[in-house]
Amino acid sequence: MPILEETKKLLEHVTGYGRPPREEVADLVRTRKAQLFRFRDDGATPNNPRLPLIRYRTPVRLADGLDPAAIFEQLFAANGWTDAWRNGMYDFLHFHTKTHEVLGIARGSVRAQLGGVHGRVIQLKGGDVVILPAGTGHQKLAASRDLLVVGAYPAAGKYDEPKPAEADHDKAVAAIAKVPIPAKDPVYGKDGPLLEHWR
């Protein structure tokens, strides 16, 4: 799937077909309440002691005639979350120590374990968005065959993906504490709930 989706993404960039103009993507956003989840350091997965995971249930209207992945890419980029990718979700537990991550479910559904082995199992479906603060463990437990996820990152940060057994726990905790708060919510921009909940 990654090769097919990357080819599709390239063609959309060249032709504009199926890709909403950036100035119009805000019209596809609807107000949703932020659902917050807090996860403790379990000794293996550090999670984030300060920042909650945020889930928005279908804040994005996946309009007919537009590629749902392109909608998420344009929306996230408009709010400063870039380096977007299209794929599924890894089936192994991992986290990021140097960046936050947003995941938009463009198609299908996924049953995800969030917060490490002692975290929560959450079902996500097309149109949902989850924002993972640095350190938050995540992995796919099960998914529909058509699952397509768009991920992106705020400008400040660097990508890594250690598994709990591979990470030096103390160094991971120290790195997570240094990841800055992004300037904008990836869905709602500068006035979004993320900035209120991640102060």
CATH of the domain at 16: 2.60.120
With a pLDDT cut of 90, the percent of the chain lying above it is: 84
* 107-154: pLDDT as tens digits: 999 999 999 999 999 999 999 999 999 999 999 999 999 999 999 999
* 63-108: pLDDT as tens digits: 888 999 999 999 999 999 999 999 999 999 999 999 999 999 999 9
Q: Which residue has the higher pLDDT, 74 or 5?
A: 74
* 172-196: pLDDT as tens digits: 999 999 999 999 999 999 999 999 9
- The structural domain count of the chain equals 1
Give the structural domain span for 101: 2-197
Q: How many residues comprise the chain?
A: 199
Taking residue 110's Cβ as centre, other Cβ atoms within 10 Å add up to 22
The model carries a pTM of 0.93
- Six-digit token pair at 194? 């993320």
Helix axes 68-78, 2-15, angle to 10 degrees: 70
Residue carrying the six token digits 């537990």: 93
* 147-166: pLDDT as tens digits: 999 999 999 889 999 999 99
Q: Which residue has the higher pLDDT, 22 or 149?
A: 149
Provide the pLDDT for residue 152. 98
Phi, psi of 50 (to 5 degrees): -105, -35
Provide the pLDDT for residue 97. 98
- Six-digit token pair at 196? 């209120």
- Six-digit token pair at 65? 């005639």
